[in-house]
Homo-oligomer: A and B are copies of this chain.
Amino acid sequence: MQGIKYYLVVIATTLNFIIGLTSMNLAQTDALPSWNNGQVKESIIKFVTDVTTQGSPDFVPVAERIAVFDNDGTLWSEKPFYNQFAFIVDRVKEMAPQHPEWREQQPFKAILEGDTETLAASGMEGLLQLTMATHAGMTTVEFTEIVKDWIGKAQHPRFNRLYTQMVYQPMLELLTYLRSNGFKTYIVSGGGIDFMRPWTEKAYGIPPEQVIGSSIKTKFEIREGKPVLVRQAEIDFIDDKEGKPVGINKFIGRRPILAFGNSDGDLEMLQWTEAGDGSTMMAIIHHTDGEREWEYDRNSLVGKLDKALDIARSQGWLIVDMKRDWRQVFSFD
């Protein structure tokens, strides 16, 4: 029995190896079809080849191939404002009948009256109030259903597409390419962890346990004999700026070897990645395409890219010029 099994294993391994070679050849031609040929695409392929080639001085074992991606502006669009903010606005409108007091209470009143000026003036404090009113008070299971329901029907105001269609085709290809090369792909976003987890697996192939984000506290309770986790109106963790390396260390416990971001909020994550031993790749998505997407950097309120752009240039990080480097932006283009 052992003898036969041994021969079967040898034959199967050999065949798998040959299949692997032919697949690799196919993959090398086609892995990133939405990326224009040029230095950026070449750099990505060279990096992945170097860290995955056994015997290469830059070889990295599979377990350590951790790749982290910001979400807003890196994997999907973040204009005219963060998509999670559209969720908040829709939720306030939907919940308003149960909250008659909101008709006289800012910043809720501003949303109900479409008064964007007052809304903007409410600033961070207003945003926090709106977030807690729409994200806390229910169980985790209930909140997941609310998000699933919204993401399944809400449409982006400019493109009239589902938000999950507002994801970048070149980045989807990159995620798939990395995973087929043994990378574990993570989201590390300032957005809400529980806002992302219900749909990232379907949209990006990234499962909930590989999504890191900002969070509010939850509390264990027994309700009618059944345990539930109730979402509390209290910040647990802000996964932005210097919070990103903190979140990476907390959730993953390993340092990434590849990091993609697009704004100053990603700077510390990129620096933390760069400081690792061995070969690393840090990249910035530069929004340069006002026609197919948006054009913004230093003066944008959402996704401001200023200091991180200077450092990316001085450190020689990869700068993806959306207009130049992406043949296609969205999958529906």
User: A residues touching B (Cβ–Cβ < 8 Å)?
Assistant: 1, 5, 8-9, 11-12, 15-16, 18-19, 22, 63, 140, 184, 193-194, 197, 201, 207-209, 211, 215, 217-220, 222, 226-229, 236, 242-243, 245-246, 249-254, 268, 271-272, 275
A228 vs B5: C-alpha distance in the bound complex, in angstroms? 51
A226 vs B245: C-alpha distance in the bound complex, in angstroms? 13
Looking at A18, A215, A220, A271, which has the most chain B CB atoms within 10 Å of its CB?
A220
Whether the pair B253, A193 counts as a contact (CB closer than 8 A) is yes
Nearest chain B residue, comparing its CB with the CB of A268: B220
Whether the pair B19, A12 counts as a contact (CB closer than 8 A) is yes
Give me the 5 closest cross-chain CB pairs, A-B, nearest first: A208-B253, A220-B242, A12-B15, A197-B253, A227-B271
Min CB distance A46 to B, Å, is 25
Whether the pair B16, A227 counts as a contact (CB closer than 8 A) is no
Extra inter-chain contacts (11) besides given A12-B16, A220-B242, CB under 8 Å: A8-B15, A9-B19, A11-B15, A209-B252, A215-B250, A218-B249, A220-B246, A228-B275, A229-B245, A229-B246, A229-B272
Nearest chain B residue, comparing its CB with the CB of A250: B215
Whether the pair B226, A275 counts as a contact (CB closer than 8 A) is yes
**Total copies of this chain within the assembly:** 2
A15 vs B10: C-alpha distance in the bound complex, in angstroms? 10
User: What are 29 residue pairs bridging A and B, where the CB atoms are less than 8 Å apart in the complex?
Assistant: A5-B22, A8-B18, A9-B19, A11-B15, A12-B16, A15-B15, A63-B207, A140-B249, A193-B253, A197-B253, A208-B252, A208-B254, A209-B209, A209-B253, A217-B246, A218-B246, A219-B242, A219-B246, A220-B242, A220-B268, A220-B272, A222-B271, A226-B275, A227-B272, A227-B275, A229-B245, A229-B246, A236-B250, A251-B251
Q: Chain B residues with Cβ under 8 A from A18's Cβ?
A: 8
Q: Chain B residues with Cβ under 8 A from A218's Cβ?
A: 246, 249-250
Q: Chain B residues with Cβ under 8 A from A228's Cβ?
A: 275
Whether the pair B229, A249 counts as a contact (CB closer than 8 A) is yes
Q: Chain B residues with Cβ under 8 A from A217's Cβ?
A: 246
A219 vs B68: C-alpha distance in the bound complex, in angstroms? 19
Nearest chain B residue, comparing its CB with the CB of A244: B220
Min CB distance A53 to B, Å, is 23
Nearest chain B residue, comparing its CB with the CB of A218: B246
A275 vs B139: C-alpha distance in the bound complex, in angstroms? 14
Min CB distance A42 to B, Å, is 26
Min CB distance A102 to B, Å, is 29
State which of B211, B251, B272, B275 has its C-beta within 8 Å of the C-beta of A209: B251
Q: Chain B residues with Cβ under 8 A from A211's Cβ?
A: 253
Whether the pair A209, B254 counts as a contact (CB closer than 8 A) is yes
Q: Chain B residues with Cβ under 8 A from A227's Cβ?
A: 245, 268, 271-272, 275
State which of B22, B193, B242 has its C-beta within 8 Å of the C-beta of A1: B22
Nearest chain B residue, comparing its CB with the CB of A2: B22
Q: Chain B residues with Cβ under 8 A from A250's Cβ?
A: 193, 215, 218, 236
Min CB distance A109 to B, Å, is 34
A211 vs B9: C-alpha distance in the bound complex, in angstroms? 34
Min CB distance A261 to B, Å, is 15
State which of B12, B201, B219, B252 has its C-beta within 8 Å of the C-beta of A12: B12
